[in-house]
Structure 1
Amino acid sequence: MSSPDETPPTSTADTSRRRGRIIAVAVGLVAVAAVVLALVLTGRGDDSPGAGGSPEPSAGSSSASSTGGGTASAEPTDGPADELPAAGPDTPEAPPVAFDESPTVLTGVTARVKSVTAVDGDATLPGEVAGPAVLAELELTNDSGTAIDLSTTVVNLAYGADRIPANTFSTGTSSFVGSLDTGSSATASYVFAVPTDEQDVLRLTLDYAVDVPVVVFEGAAS
């Protein structure tokens, strides 16, 4: 007969049940670890460039540029930024008049050629070549009743039957500038390079503004 203080021996059935529970817990932990590992490996595979297709572009990357390192513009432009509008039609010309006439430039304003004389052109700026020239002096008279702007006035000269454009010498040339009060006159001088044998066929033009016909004088130098 056993003593009351002795612990009864563990039965074989109880030992088997404990071992079963331990094994079950171990298997469960292994299964959970396998699932976690699979999820981690799957996530890494999705992030790699070669798995499952190309990665989505980030918000700051360019989706349009494939050959260069620069950022493509969001929208195509119509042309170069510094492209100028197409030129409009040339300003019409008034019928030619002789050097001694005073045609109307616009209402109340007349033009007159004071003189066209042969001179020697002085070369002072790069590109200028000294040589035979003509000095043309023109006068504008304003009787329109209001001041007029002279800053847009352009005077040119062509010579010969082919109307070859003449270059302007800086020395001796003084263009129309500023404004001209009513009841007043303004004078301007222009020195044009013209060969001596072409100074008898001259065409002098005064272009006041784009919306005003060009005044044309024709004659010979004196």
Structure 2
Amino acid sequence: MIKKVGKREHHLWKRRDSAGSGQKALHLVRIVSGLPNEKEAVYGALDKWTAWETEFPLIAAAKALRILRKRNQWKRVIQVAKWMLSKGQGATMGTYDTLLLAFDMDQRVDEAESLWNMILHVHTRSISKRLLSRMISLYDHHNIHKIMEVFADMEELGVKPDQDTVRRVAHAFQKLGQEEKQMLVLKRYQSKWKYVHFKGERVRVRADVYKEDNA
């Protein structure tokens, strides 16, 4: 008789890397929240936070970024994200998205553009809809003329914009006095349907009909 031995799966990496990551993240948030707004002080504290780690605590750092983002601590988000990237860690679309949002909220458009140019250069044809939409949102707040550049990249990459992005692009064309392009964008990308709440229920209606009835 041949006795089959069942597979024994080990998840040592997952357990070791995620163990206590929530507490580590909170500890990191407490550390940076109590520091002066100086790069040297923040980076020094972050280096101490990892001094005794055998491997970079990426999960804990990512959780700390999410906590800081929820608390709208944009300067700290920028500092922690930049520090992670300087260590060669966390270079993901999620980190870039959070960093671009923080730059937007902290009025640091030049730095956002520098990061965006790097993303375009390095990732070229693998840029996510999320990041493209983030840059259009940023330029909607700070420089509507540049919305067209990002939207052109979006179309070239074959990325279909979400409805919020369609609204921003159409509004930008309208403000720039280019109504024909505004209508073209709406005709090409605006959803024919939208959801509204009617008598306590979520109902799908044609967007153009609902607009006419509520004008």
TM range (shorter): under 0.3
Bigger strand fraction: 1
TM (norm. structure 1) is 0.19
**Normalising by the residue count of structure 2, what TM-score does the alignment of the two structures yield?**
0.19
> Which structure has more RCO (C-alpha within 8 Å, separation ≥ 6)?
1
**Of the two, which has the highest radius of gyration?**
1
If each structure's helix is expressed as a fraction of its own residues, which one has the higher value? Answer: 2
